[in-house]
Amino acid sequence: MVNNLKVNDINDIDVDQNINIINDFSIQVATPNGSGSQTSNLVLLRSLFKMGIPSSGKNLFPSNIQGMPTWYTIRCSQAGYVARRDSIQIMVLMNPETALQDINNIQSGGVCLYPESAKYNFDREDITYYPMPVKRLAKESGVSSALRPYVSNMVYVGVLASVLSIDLLEIESALSWHFKGRQKLVDTNMPVIQAAFDWSRENLTKTDRFQVERTNSTDGTIMVDGNFAAALGAIYGGVTVMAWYPITPSTSLADSLTEYARLLRHDAEGHATYSIIQAEDELAAAGMIMGAGWAGARAMTATSGPGISLMSEFAGFGYYAEIPAVIWDVQRVGPSTGLPTRVSQGDLTACHWSSHGDTEHICLLPGNVAECFEFGWRAFDIAEQYQTPVFVLSDLDLGMNNWMTKPFNYPDKPMNRGKVLTADQVNENGFKRYFDLDGDGIPYRTLPGTVANGASYFTRGSGHDESAKYSEDPLDYATNMSRLRRKIDSSRETLPAPIVEHNKTASIGFVGFGSTDPAIIEARDRLAVIGVASSYLRIRALPASLTVSDFIASHERVYVVEMNIEGQLHKLIQIQSPELATKVLSLAHCDGLPLTASCIVSEILEQERGPNGKIKD
């Protein structure tokens, strides 16, 4: 059975049977970048989602403003799978440059929509072609020639609505939502969609078998991107100083923060209870949040790989001088400029050990948009509790693409402002900035402006003693560093705990983090179908809970799934549990695209197959 399994999912929707395929297909729209197709794609996605069809949308875009190829993929999955999938059933070819390559990516039995004016000589006979009169319908819409390229993209919305039976009312309300209720824009676009729909009904004979049906599967869910979620989380976490520098794919986090803070965070006179500064660079952004965190603000920045490199000096400063701050890293592909608009999880070790000298930073690893929101506020509590910079590692897929989620839960804990002494407390008990009074490695701090005898201290990145005085004394240095070690270690079991699904019958387990979650879920289901049971542990923070070691110990083999080349989490786990190192195998894969279940399944079958071709016990 295993040997017959199609591990490459290029043809994984079963179209051989002569029955309709309901709510289970992928639509890909190929366009030149900057041609204004995003509105059309998001409207389609939202319409499908609002019809109750579990859907996800992924934008595969180039590092370019205009002209280079872009693909937007919408996956509908009645089973609720939202990971990327290689196979495409319905292709909309709006980019002549990539048409010949795109046509080959359509699954046999699939559909190809294209502008009839393109006059392609396609030779595939196993797919259905629907040429669309794009130019004519755009022209007949009566919009100015400047707007015509935009409304042109509405033609495929109308044709798809007709071919797949997408409710036009849902499309209209998605348009209205997208344009934030501006009726004039709806009135410009909707007639084109309607005209294309009508043309399609009159002129096309449906020969494919894909269609949608309304369900209630998305009731009670919303659809948002992770950067929005993170920004909103930060606002409810009481962020007071945000300093940032534009960089893909983190920019929309700062943009969302700006948009929603303006709505939510001002006093009765309209004065802001926060400050958002677009710094001159990431060095300055890091400096600003250090200064702000030191002064007592809930300070954060959002950046991506190159910014992480630039901020590393201050990360080390914050670790050593013990300054709370939150650093969001919306990861893209490195090293160096890498692939700026593609996804990876390649910054794990760079963040965990950021800066020269011995450091170990707390890292939070949200695996879905709800956790982007939750860690958005919790990160401040953790940073202030441990008086240290906290990294939150999202990525381009999680941050910039749209995901279904339950509405976010309001913070269920009061703010934890950490060990901050008041003037009275200082006057009563005295104060030594780096003295481990409680034995937990976490000292007390005072905020600048605290008027009390002995409240002030000298913060420095150079060697210091318990009283924050300059010291090159070997014992002072060693004592301080070992306290910092203890402090970070003590966070291990208080940070967001791993999510564990322990399958008692399984001999293998998966360990993952972040946005690979949907691919791992889907891969496990597919493996289960062919008799390969598995357990799953998703790490949500570093330093990792010792639960991870227990999980490894209770399985024969554990695969660490991650989107990078070196297997960074795999190595971190081996370091944490050297005695279990041989049981931990790396399933690291990175090509800039979100991970697919097929990739995991084929890798597992490869590794789990014994010499006789059978799956190991």
Partner 1 sequence: MGKSRINTNLIGLEKQDYKGSPTTLCAGCGHNSISSQIITAAFELGLQPEQVIKISGIGCSSKSPAYFMNRSFAFNSVHGRMPSVASGAMLANRDLVTIGISGDGDTGSIGLGQFKHAMRRNTPMIYIVENNGVYGLTKGQFSVTADEGQNLKYYGKNDLPPLDLCLEAIVADCGFVARSFAGDPKQVRPLLKAAISYDGAALLDIISPCVAFNNTSDSTKGYDWVKEHDDPLHDITYIPIQEEVTTQYNPGDTSMVTLHDGSQILLRKLDESYDPTDKLGAIQALQSANNEESLLTGLIYYDPNRPNLIQSENLVESPLVQLTTDALRPNEESLSQIMSNL
Interface residues with partner 1 (CB under 8 A)?
Answer: 222-224, 232, 235-238, 240-241, 243, 260, 264-267, 270-275, 277, 279-281, 283-299, 313-314, 317, 407-408, 410-411, 414-415, 447-452, 455-462, 470
Task: Give the integer Cα–Cα distance in Å for 548 and 606.
Answer: 24
Task: Give the integer Cα–Cα distance in Å for 75 and 54.
Answer: 8
Taking the complex as a whole, the smallest distance from the CB of residue 339 to partner 1 amounts, in Å, to 28
| CB closer to partner 1, 25 vs 320 | 320
Q: Are 290 and 302 in contact (CB under 8 A)?
A: no
CA-wise closest residue to 36 among 185, 250, 254: 185
Taking the complex as a whole, the smallest distance from the CB of residue 119 to partner 1 amounts, in Å, to 42
| CB closer to partner 1, 270 vs 611 | 270
Residue with tokens 């004394």: 473
117: its two tokens = 């004016």
| CB closer to partner 1, 112 vs 243 | 243
Taking the complex as a whole, the smallest distance from the CB of residue 585 to partner 1 amounts, in Å, to 40
| CB closer to partner 1, 253 vs 333 | 253
| CB closer to partner 1, 292 vs 604 | 292
| CB closer to partner 1, 149 vs 411 | 411
| CB closer to partner 1, 142 vs 448 | 448
Taking the complex as a whole, the smallest distance from the CB of residue 292 to partner 1 amounts, in Å, to 4
153: its two tokens = 């993209």
| CB closer to partner 1, 285 vs 595 | 285
Q: What is the DSSP string of 511-565?
A: EE-GGGHHHHHHHHHHHHHTT--EEEEE--EESPPTHHHHHHHTSSEEEEEESSS
Q: Which residues contact 384 (CB under 8 A, 6 or more apart)?
A: 298, 324, 416, 417, 418
Q: Which residues contact 224 (CB under 8 A, 6 or more apart)?
A: 369, 402, 403, 405
CA-wise closest residue to 362 among 393, 397, 330: 393
| CB closer to partner 1, 106 vs 325 | 325
374: its two tokens = 């939750």
Determine which helix (DSSP H) or strand (DSSP E) holds 112, and give its type and residue range.
Answer: strand 106-115
Strands 541-542 and 362-364: antiparallel
Strands 241-244 and 275-278: parallel
Taking the complex as a whole, the smallest distance from the CB of residue 287 to partner 1 amounts, in Å, to 3
Taking the complex as a whole, the smallest distance from the CB of residue 345 to partner 1 amounts, in Å, to 27
Taking the complex as a whole, the smallest distance from the CB of residue 337 to partner 1 amounts, in Å, to 21
Angle in degrees, CA 470, 473, 475, rounded to 5? 125
Taking the complex as a whole, the smallest distance from the CB of residue 2 to partner 1 amounts, in Å, to 43
Strands 275-278 and 69-77: unpaired
Taking the complex as a whole, the smallest distance from the CB of residue 554 to partner 1 amounts, in Å, to 39
Taking the complex as a whole, the smallest distance from the CB of residue 316 to partner 1 amounts, in Å, to 9
496: its two tokens = 């967001």
| CB closer to partner 1, 142 vs 449 | 449
Secondary structure class of 305 (helix, strand, coil): helix
